[in-house]
Amino acid sequence: MKDPFVIVWTLLIFASIFWYGFLVFYVGNKAGKEILQMTKTLGESKEAEKKPPA
Amino acid sequence: MTLAPIDWIIIVVYLASCLGAGLWMRKFVRGVEDFAVAGRELNVNLGIASLAATELGLVTIMYTGQLGYEKGFAGAAIGVLMWAVIWIIGRTGFVIGPLRTAGVMTIPELFEKRFSARVRWLAGLFVVLGGLLNMGIFLRLGGEFLVYATGMPPGWLEWVMTGLLGLVLVYTALGGMLSVLVTDYLQFLLMGVGIVITSILVIMHLGWGNLIDGLNTAWAAGAASSGTPRAHPFNPFHSSSFGWGYLLWQFVFQIAAASTWQTQISRVLAAKDAATAKSMYRKTSFYYVGRFLLPGLWGAAAFVWFSQHGGLPEGLTTLTAMPQYLSIVLPIGLIGLVVAAMLAAEMSTDSGYMLTWATVIYNDLITPCLRKPLAPQSQLLLTRGLVLGIAVFLLFYGLWYQVPGNAWDYLAVTGNIYLASVFTLLVAGLYWPRANAVGAGAALVLGAIGPIVFLVLGKTYNIAPEIAGASSFALAAVGMVAGSLLTRPPVRAGADSPSPSLSSP
């Protein structure tokens, strides 16, 4: 394990496993909320288009 | 078959959820802008999920696994380069900032504003040609993973992939980018879980010390033998691995890919604004290390496992060794989750790519040729028809084409057909006021020569992929500079303006 390349790859592999696990929860939670917001915005603009002009 | 009923239940539930979510988004599609760029309502985190899901397909897992098998961890050096490049682009906004500000739906659309309608059309043709050829091998490589990981009879490959593509086609053609975003989100979650679990199980199965020792032993044995030595498993700069020349070419290639590849750029164009797009890039950048390194870890582990158990069994190749190894490692119950995750990877990539190329064909090849604009409903119908056409192309081209050399080189070279020239046009168009339509046309044609020659004659004359790739960048740049300087400068929007205006009204 003295080879610097081995040390770098080892760190990167374990960091990647951690990062993927973290993103699933972090981005998963935030992106889920963004989908709800996006559908709400799109739904509202669709409703606004349907209404006849006053 | 290595799948148990519980595995099948997981897979069916996943597929049904994707289809349901994709179809649900259909009701929000009002026109081509919603269909192609999700009404430009994309925010940072959903952008990260979508970008990550699209850019990590089953095809990615196969070729990065193959790189891991052949080159050990050093095979993931390209992922590290991508991390650096994407972070720098996200930090500086190089190309993506002004591109999003221009308010276009596709890259070629920008070329009409900056150069001419003819350049837009020609660029659209190259984008589609390079993109479709690139996507052509996705289905077969994805299918091979499923055959070897699940123990499915090889004769089922075509039918399974046809069914999978049919499913993706339904929600992509109906809901466009909106469906793609929501299904990408589900796929991102499942893929993340599947990749983490698989990586941990692989490390536990082989043992970290055994894996490192196995790679070192194989390297030492190969170096001592008189035959062809194995690539250095840890040092990517070593002459037996990628070497400096190839990595340098990859650095340039990744700058071009991250700022030009239409499937990636479509998320930039769907973003709320330039700042959102830049943030999306920065936050996704490290994901690219794992994209290469984790499947590469599985490939390297497959190499060590088979080396310690009598060598690669007959019928297996460096491409199919990794999924075969996973079928040994993954227990019943978990294999269903991992297969569903891999299906997710395949589906998110297929949907994103089909939508992107259909949008370019509609927006840049067909629309400029129409004498009068189509009605909104006809525009939608046409774009949906194009998604269907691409799916049919994929089925036929994708299931009979044989990859020359390794899969990564094929993908890099076909992508290069448009990357080199379109990247040159983008950079010159955005940052060099003297660039004109003649230079752009010359760059497009000259930039495509290298990769096309490699595709046709590469095997016969043993042309190195980095030579084909680097020459296409050089030729495109020469075409742009010579063509622009030898002809009249472009007409400026105003006396004080440094270059023709690109901002959207």
Select the residue from B17, B26, B28 to test the A interface by mutation, using most A Cβ atoms within 10 A: B28
pLDDT of A50 above 80: no
B251, exposed or middle or buried, with CB in 10 Å at 0-12, 13-18, 19+?
middle
Residues of A with Cβ-Cβ distance to B45 under 8 angstroms: 27, 30-31, 34
Residue B497's pLDDT is 41
Please answer yes or no on whether B48 and A31 come within 8 Å at the CB atom.
yes
Select the residue from B35, B41, B190 to test the A interface by mutation, using most A Cβ atoms within 10 A: B41
Chain A interface, Cβ < 8 Å to B: 1, 3, 5-6, 9-10, 12-13, 15-17, 19-21, 23-24, 27-28, 30-32, 34-35, 37-39, 41-43, 45-46, 49
Distance from CA of A53 to the nearest CA of B (A): 18
**Closest partner CB to B234 (pick from A6, A21, A30):** A6
Select the residue from B23, B43, B210 to test the A interface by mutation, using most A Cβ atoms within 10 A: B43
Residue B300's pLDDT is 95
Distance from CA of B227 to the nearest CA of A (A): 25
**Closest partner CB to B41 (pick from A16, A30, A41):** A41
Contact B99, B430 (CB under 8 A): yes
Mean pLDDT of B154-162: 80
Q: Three-state SS for B428?
A: helix
How big is chain A, counted in residues? 54
pLDDT of B345 above 70: yes
Question: pTM of this prediction?
Answer: 0.81
**Closest partner CB to B193 (pick from A24, A34, A38):** A24
Residues of A with Cβ-Cβ distance to B235 under 8 angstroms: 5
Please answer yes or no on whether A16 and B34 come within 8 Å at the CB atom.
no
Please answer yes or no on whether B192 and A20 come within 8 Å at the CB atom.
yes
Distances (CA, A) of B74 to A19, B98, B255, B502: 20, 35, 20, 42
Element of type H or E holding B44? helix B44-55
Residue B40's pLDDT is 74
pLDDT band at B94 (very low <50, low <70, confident <90, very high): very high
Please answer yes or no on whether B188 and A16 come within 8 Å at the CB atom.
no
A2, exposed or middle or buried, with CB in 10 Å at 0-12, 13-18, 19+?
exposed
- Tell me how crowded residue B248 is: count the other CB atoms within 10 A of its CB: 14
Residue B205's pLDDT is 95
Give the model confidence (pLDDT) of B187-222 as tens digits: 889 889 999 999 999 999 999 999 999 999 988 887
ipTM rounded to 2 decimals: 0.87
B369, exposed or middle or buried, with CB in 10 Å at 0-12, 13-18, 19+?
exposed
Residues of B with Cβ-Cβ distance to A32 under 8 angstroms: 185
Pick from B280, B263, B269: nearest CA to B100: B269
